[in-house]
């Protein structure tokens, strides 16, 4: 059932694309790039999210009367292919802006492309801090809460734990390394008394979970920071459960509360982990209710965090285009800086200082309910509260 929707939507996009040139005057095109073939588990819900948003935007009259059209490309998980796609969207399709991307390196590649070609780019999902800070540029904005923000939210809870001996497990690449670095830095600021007793750096996607679990257990930490995700996380959790690694130890874990990562764990979900995530079943705000109903009605499926990000990306793009009432990149930038708009998580703002949105995340604890993993005691943390001071940000970001 689900797949037919996807195919249908794809066809609709293709048709819209073909008809595009004929109706150029009456529509505005957005170019969208993501790792659909490499990471379908994350990008399928994301795609549904933005499809819903496109439908809503057009039902409400489009962009100042013009129809919004999204042209979507797959990057196959390769930065080089993403650049090719970006080029096609900009040069051949004449899109007004670029959006999307999931992987940090692809986000950075497209961001650099946007900077070079002077194209507006709204990065949807990449987490790396570099995209808004050390490698930030005036053409790039980012929606999802960054690595730093996720770390800061987790540190707030982690610092309350009595644990003094900490171990870390993170995939050995830029994301894992910077997540651990930020967490350690913020944590040590709040709790100078803690010790880092072990660190494990399994290769991304290739964790040999048994030995890793065994090694961490041997260091006998009181608490563990986990940054692994996806299939690595599943293996880690299974080995950790069997070998009793998580018994009587606190675990703080990046992103694990997102349905994308939590759901595959099914009845083996470890309980009591402090995580960031998206408890869609537990959020009782009118904004979210509206989104949830519409999403479930359209797709007969529950949303993942990707759905929120996809949905909000296109909503934001529409808001930016409407406010700018132009496709000139400079005007789009001006419209975006300081733009405040509603989202299923509440109001968000695109900061002028670093082009980061203040979309936040839910922090809570994992639990088992009816044989499935859920987040409980979740609290929404506003993104704005977990960013460094403006003076610090100004130092991090290169001058435009």
Q: Which of residues 254-273 bind other proteins (CB under 8 A)?
A: 263-266, 268
CA distance 357 to 388: 14
Q: Does 66 bind other proteins (CB under 8 A)?
A: no
Q: Does 175 bind other proteins (CB under 8 A)?
A: yes
Nearer to other proteins, 105 or 378 (CB): 105
Site string for other proteins, 270-309 (x = CB under 8 A): ----------------------------------------
Q: Does 234 bind other proteins (CB under 8 A)?
A: yes
Of 36, 139, 291, 311, the one binding other proteins by CB under 8 A:
36
**Closest-CA residue to 76 (of 47, 39, 43):** 39
Residues 318-357 that bind other proteins (CB under 8 A): none
CB proximity list for 259: less than 8 A, separation 6 or greater = 277, 278, 280, 302, 303, 304, 305
Of 135, 298, 331, 397, the one binding other proteins by CB under 8 A:
135
Q: Does 218 bind other proteins (CB under 8 A)?
A: yes
# of chain residues touching other proteins (CB under 8 A)? 73
Nearer to other proteins, 156 or 199 (CB): 199
Q: Does 211 bind other proteins (CB under 8 A)?
A: yes
Residues 357-396 that bind other proteins (CB under 8 A): none
Residues 70-109 that bind other proteins (CB under 8 A): 73-76, 78-81, 83-85, 87-88, 91-92, 104-105, 108-109
Of 113, 120, 148, 254, the one binding other proteins by CB under 8 A:
113
Of 231, 272, 300, 340, the one binding other proteins by CB under 8 A:
231
The piece of 51-59, 186-194, 239-247, 350-358 that touches other proteins (CB under 8 A) is: 239-247
The piece of 193-201, 317-325, 331-339, 344-352 that touches other proteins (CB under 8 A) is: 193-201
Of 5, 9, 201, 331, the one binding other proteins by CB under 8 A:
201
């Amino acid at each position: 059932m689900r797949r037919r929707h996807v195919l249908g939507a794809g066809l609709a996009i293709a048709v819209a694309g073909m008809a595009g040139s004929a109706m150029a005057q009456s529509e505005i095109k957005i170019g969208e790039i993501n790792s659909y073939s490499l990471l379908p588990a994350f990008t399928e819900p994301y795609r549904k999210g933005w499809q819903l948003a496109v439908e809503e935007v057009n039902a409400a009259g489009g962009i100042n009367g013009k129809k919004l059209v999204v042209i979507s490309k797959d990057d196959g998980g390769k930065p080089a292919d993403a650049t090719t796609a970006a080029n096609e969207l900009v040069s051949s399709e004449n899109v007004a802006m670029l959006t999307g991307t999931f992987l940090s390196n692809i986000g950075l590649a497209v961001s650099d492309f946007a900077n070079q070609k002077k194209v507006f780019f709204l990065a949807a999902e990449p987490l790396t801090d570099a995209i808004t800070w050390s490698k930030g540029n005036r053409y790039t904005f980012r929606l999802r809460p960054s690595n730093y923000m996720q770390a800061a939210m987790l540190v707030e809870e982690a610092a309350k734990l009595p644990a003094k001996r900490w171990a870390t497990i993170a995939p050995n690449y830029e994301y894992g390394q910077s997540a651990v670095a930020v967490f350690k830095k913020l944590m040590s600021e709040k709790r100078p008394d803690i010790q880092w007793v072990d660190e494990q750096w399994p290769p991304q996607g290739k964790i040999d979970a048994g030995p890793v679990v065994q090694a961490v257990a041997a260091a006998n930490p009181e608490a563990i920071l986990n940054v692994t995700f996806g299939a690595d996380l599943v293996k880690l959790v299974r080995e950790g459960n069997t070998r009793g690694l998580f018994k009587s130890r606190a675990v703080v874990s990046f992103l694990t509360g997102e349905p994308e990562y939590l759901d595959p764990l099914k009845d083996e979900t470890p309980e009591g982990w402090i995580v960031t995530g998206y408890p869609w079943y537990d959020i009782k705000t009118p904004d979210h209710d509206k989104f949830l109903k519409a999403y479930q009605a359209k797709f007969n499926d529950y949303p993942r965090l990707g759905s929120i990000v996809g949905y909000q990306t296109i909503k934001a793009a529409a808001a930016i285009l409407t406010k700018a009432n132009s496709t000139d990149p400079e005007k789009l930038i001006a419209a975006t800086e300081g733009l405040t708009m509603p989202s299923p998580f509440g109001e968000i703002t695109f900061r002028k200082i670093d082009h980061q949105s203040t979309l936040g995340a839910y922090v809570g604890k994992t639990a088992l309910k009816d044989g499935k993993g859920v987040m409980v005691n979740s609290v929404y943390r506003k993104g704005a509260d977990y960013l460094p001071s403006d003076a610090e940000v100004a130092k991090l970001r290169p001058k435009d």
